[in-house]
C-alpha cells in the first residue's frame, strides 16, 4: 500500500479537503498546513474545527460545488463523502489525484522512524493525548494525530521535529490497516461497529492484522482477554501492561480522591515512580500505564513522567468539567458505547453529588439496535436520564429503532427533539448539588454549553 501512495504528495502544493471539519481531517490539516502546503476545504456546516481552521487562514466553502477544487493538485475526502459529491466527481473528471483520509494518514505515519499507533475500542484519544503530553513535556517534540483537542498543542494535531509520531488509530472499517506502526499500543477490544464487523471474532481478527503490521514492538493490555487473543503467537516484541502484577508494567498502591488518583508504576517487580493523575476512573489508570510504557520505550526516563502526567487535565470531551451553573455541575464526555457510558457514569456516581443526570445523544442506528440491552443496562446507573433522538450519521434506520424504545425501559427517563427543550427541562428540574453529564459521539457538546449558560 505504501508503494501505491508514496507519491501522493509529489508535486502537490495545493490540497483540498472534502469534509475538512471532521475530527479525522482536522489534525491532518494542521500537520500539512505546518508543513507548508496551501489548504482549502469544504464542509456542510460550521463547526468548532472549521472555525479553528479559518483562523489558520484556510479558505473553507460551506456548499459542495465543483468549482471549489479549482487549483488543487490533490483532493482528500473522508469516508462519509458519497461517490456523487460534486467536488469528488469533478476531481475524477479533471484527473486530479484523490486520496481517502485514511490513505493520507497512512502516508504521514510512514514518514517517521518511531510511529506509536494507539488502537482499541475505548480510550484511544485519552491515551494518545497522554503520550503526547509526556513526550512534549520531556522535550521529545513529537508529531501528533489525536481525535480530540489537547490544550498542550492547541488542537488535534501538530508537526514536530523529531522522528516520533503519536497517532490515534481507529478500527472503524479497518482504516487503521492503512497505517505504518512501529509501536502498536492495544488498549482493549470490545464489540463495536457491528454493522461492519458483524461479530467480535472479526474485530479481533482485524486487530491481529494491525498487530502483524507492527515493525518493532506491541504494547498490549494484559488484563484484556480479547487483546491477548489478537496477539497470540505473533513473532514480535510484546510488552504487557495492566493493573494485575502478572504484567510487565502494572500499578500498585492505587489511591483515589474524587477527580484525582495515584499509584506506584511498577516494572517487573520494581517501582519506577509514583504517578498522580488529574483525571478520574479506573479506565484512566489503564490508559496512563499504557501511555507510560509507550513513553519509556521511546526514550523517556521514568522519573520524568510524573511531572508530565500531572499536567495532563484531560482531552476535550473526556470527562471535561465545564463548570457550575446555579450550584449544578456540568461535565461533557464523548462516551457513546455502553462500556464507555458505564465507566463515565460509575465515576460520576462516586463523586458525592446528590443526583447524576445522564443527558445522552444516541449515535447511529446500528450501534443502538445491536447493543440495545447493554445501553439500557448502563444508562440505568444514572439517577435521571434525558435522551435526544438517534443521530443517523451515515446510516438509514433499517433497524426500526427509536429513542422511545429505550426510555420506556429506563426508569426516570425521557426524550426531547431539541437541545433547547433538553436544556429547559434539565435546568428547571435539577437541583443544587446535582451533576449533569452530557454524553455522545455527535454534537451534544452544544447542549452542554447551553446548560452551562442557561439563565445567564
Give me the active site residues, please. 124-125, 168
In 3D space, the residue among 80, 77, 22, 78 whose CA is nearest the CA of residue 52 turns out to be 22
Distance CA 176, CA 153 (A): 23
Q: Which three cell numbers stand for residue 101?
A: 483520509
Q: 448, 360 in Cβ contact below 8 A?
A: no
Angle at alpha carbon of residue 320, lines to 48 and 387, rounded to 5°: 80
DSSP calls for 118-137: EE-SS-HHHHHHHHHHHHHH
Give whole-number Cα distances, 203 to 168, 171, 172, 206, 274, in Å: 17, 8, 10, 5, 35
Decide: 193 and 172 in contact? Cβ < 8 Å.
Answer: yes
- Say how far residue 106 (Cα) sits from the centre of its chain: 17
* Residue whose C-alpha is closest to residue 56's, from 33, 32, 90: 33
Residues in the chain, total: 456
CB-CB contact of 76 with 43 (8 Å): no
Q: Within 13 A of 203's CA, how many CA atoms are on the CB side?
A: 23
CA neighbor of 404 nearest in space, from 366, 372, 445: 372
**DSSP letter string, 379-437:** HTTSSEEEE-PPB-TT---TT---THHHHTTSTTEEE-SSHHHHHHHHHHH--TT-EEE
d(C-alpha 358, C-alpha 407), whole Å = 12
CA 423, 441, 60: angle at the middle one, nearest 5? 95
Q: How many CA atoms lie within 13 A of 309 on its CB side?
A: 33
Amino acid at each position: 500500500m505504501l508503494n501505491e501512495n508514496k507519491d501522493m504528495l509529489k508535486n502537490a502544493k495545493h490540497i483540498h479537503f472534502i469534509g475538512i471539519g471532521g475530527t479525522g481531517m482536522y489534525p491532518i490539516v494542521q500537520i500539512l498546513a505546518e508543513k507548508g502546503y496551501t489548504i482549502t476545504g469544504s464542509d456542510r456546516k460550521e463547526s468548532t474545527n472549521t472555525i479553528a481552521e479559518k483562523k489558520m487562514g484556510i479558505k473553507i466553502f460551506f456548499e459542495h460545488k465543483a468549482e471549489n477544487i479549482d487549483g488543487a493538485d490533490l483532493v482528500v475526502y473522508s469516508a462519509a463523502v458519497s461517490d456523487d459529491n460534486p467536488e469528488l466527481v469533478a476531481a475524477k473528471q479533471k484527473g486530479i489525484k484523490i486520496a481517502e483520509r485514511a490513505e493520507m494518514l497512512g502516508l504521514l505515519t510512514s514518514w517517521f522512524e518511531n510511529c506509536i499507533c494507539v488502537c482499541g475500542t475505548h480510550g484511544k484519544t485519552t491515551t494518545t493525548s497522554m503520550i503526547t503530553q509526556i513526550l512534549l513535556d520531556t522535550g521529545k517534540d513529537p508529531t501528533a494525530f489525536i481525535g480530540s483537542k489537547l490544550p498542550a498543542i492547541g488542537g488535534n494535531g501538530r508537526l514536530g521535529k523529531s522522528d516520533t509520531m503519536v497517532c490515534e488509530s481507529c478500527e472503524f472499517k479497518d482504516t487503521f490497516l492503512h497505517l505504518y506502526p512501529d509501536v502498536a499500543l492495544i488498549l482493549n477490544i470490545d464489540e463495536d461497529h457491528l454493522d461492519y464487523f458483524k461479530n467480535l471474532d472479526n474485530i479481533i481478527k482485524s486487530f491481529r492484522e494491525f498487530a502483524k503490521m507492527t515493525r518493532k514492538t506491541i504494547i498490549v493490555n494484559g488484563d484484556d482477554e480479547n487483546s491477548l487473543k489478537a496477539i497470540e503467537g505473533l513473532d514480535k516484541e510484546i510488552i504487557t501492561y495492566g493493573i494485575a502484577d502478572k504484567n510487565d508494567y502494572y500499578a500498585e498502591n492505587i489511591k483515589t480522591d474524587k477527580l484525582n488518583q495515584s499509584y506506584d508504576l511498577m516494572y517487573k517487580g520494581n517501582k519506577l515512580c509514583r504517578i498522580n493523575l488529574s483525571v478520574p476512573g479506573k479506565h484512566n489508570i489503564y490508559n496512563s500505564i499504557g501511555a507510560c510504557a509507550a513513553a519509556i520505550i521511546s526514550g523517556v526516563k521514568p522519573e520524568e513522567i510524573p511531572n508530565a502526567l500531572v499536567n495532563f487535565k484531560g482531552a476535550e470531551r473526556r470527562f471535561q468539567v465545564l463548570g457550575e451553573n446555579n450550584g449544578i455541575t456540568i461535565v461533557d464526555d464523548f462516551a457513546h458505547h455502553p462500556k464507555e457510558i458505564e465507566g463515565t457514569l460509575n465515576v460520576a456516581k462516586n463523586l458525592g453529588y446528590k443526583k447524576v443526570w445522564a443527558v445522552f445523544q444516541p449515535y447511529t442506528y446500528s450501534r443502538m439496535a445491536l447493543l440495545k440491552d447493554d445501553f439500557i443496562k448502563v444508562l440505568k446507573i444514572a439517577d435521571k436520564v434525558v435522551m435526544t433522538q438517534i443521530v443517523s450519521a451515515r446510516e438509514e434506520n433499517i433497524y426500526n429503532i427509536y429513542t422511545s424504545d429505550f426510555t420506556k425501559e429506563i426508569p426516570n427517563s425521557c426524550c426531547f427533539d431539541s437541545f433547547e427543550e433538553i436544556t429547559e427541562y434539565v435546568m428547571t428540574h435539577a437541583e443544587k448539588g446535582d451533576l449533569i453529564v452530557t454524553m455522545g459521539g455527535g454534537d451534544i457538546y452544544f447542549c452542554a454549553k447551553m446548560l452551562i449558560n442557561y439563565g445567564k
